[in-house]
Amino acid sequence: MSAPDIAATDSGFTPPLPEQIVCVFGGTQAPSESPAYQAAMSVGRKLARLGYAIANGGYGGTMEASARGAKAAGGLVIGVTCAIWRSQPNEFLDHRFVAPDLTERLGKLVELGRSGYVVLPGANGTLSELACVWERKDIGDLPDRPLVFFGSYWQPLIDLITAAQPKSARHLAVVPDAEELERHFPPRRT
């Protein structure tokens, strides 16, 4: 069964979404038996247990894993897919936005991260997502929300950027495991 698409109606009405949403950025390349997939499942599970819905790109790999973990813990999952791709969304989505292009998809993902962002290992797509959020935080274009990198995968990039622009470090955190997410995403009442 596929998730219902969420879109504005002709009258401009969009169904309400929870206020407490963490956007999880990650890649499509992690197979289900991989450590990266298992770690992403633990991220989704922990965020759901803390009372957060999650939003992500809605496809496979670590996106699927974080959605799967959240669903296993009783959480709500929102996927933001893109009409330009033929890939099918993963089966763990409760709701799905279908963006017409990559720019709108990125905008919707950033918008949905009402409570913050977690960055898992990924490739070019994940890099563009984290760069957009990080730059918008640097220039004051986003409210104060956590930007949390999971594990050491992105550490070389973090080191490179913060060496060139030391003030950028104030907008991010790095956690070694899912249990540490609670330091940045306090428990919410459900």
Successive 10-residue mean pLDDT values, the chain, 190 residues: 53 69 95 93 98 96 97 96 93 94 96 97 94 93 94 96 92 94 88
What is the rounded distance in angstroms from the CA atom of residue 26 to the CA atom of residue 49? 20
What is the spatial distance between Cα 82 and Cα 123, in angstroms, rounded to a whole number?
Answer: 17
pLDDT of 7 reads 54
**Residue that has been written with the tokens 């993902």 in this structure:** 109
Residue 23 to residue 21: CA distance in whole angstroms: 6
Give the full edge-to-edge strand order of the sheet including 53-56: 95-99, 77-82, 53-56, 21-25, 116-119, 147-150, 173-175
Return the structure tokens found at 111: 């918008």
Whether the Cβ atoms of residue 99 and residue 83 lie closer than 8 Å to each other: yes
The pLDDT of residue 171 is: 86
pLDDT confidence of residue 92: 96
Give me the helix-helix angle, 124-138 and 102-112, nearest 10°: 60
pLDDT of 4 reads 59
Helix 61-72 and helix 35-49: axis angle, to 10°? 40
Q: What was the pLDDT predicted at 13? A: 44
pLDDT tens across 159-185, in order? 999 999 999 898 899 999 999 999 999
Quote the strand ranges of the chain, DSSP E: 21-25, 53-56, 77-82, 95-99, 116-119, 147-150, 173-175
Distance CA 44, CA 33 (A): 16
Give burial (CB, 10 Å; 0-12/13-18/19+) of 114. middle
Q: Which domains does the chain have, with CATH numbers?
A: 21-181 (3.40.50.450)
Tell me how far CA of residue 8 lies from CA of 46, 58, 113, in angstroms.
31, 19, 19
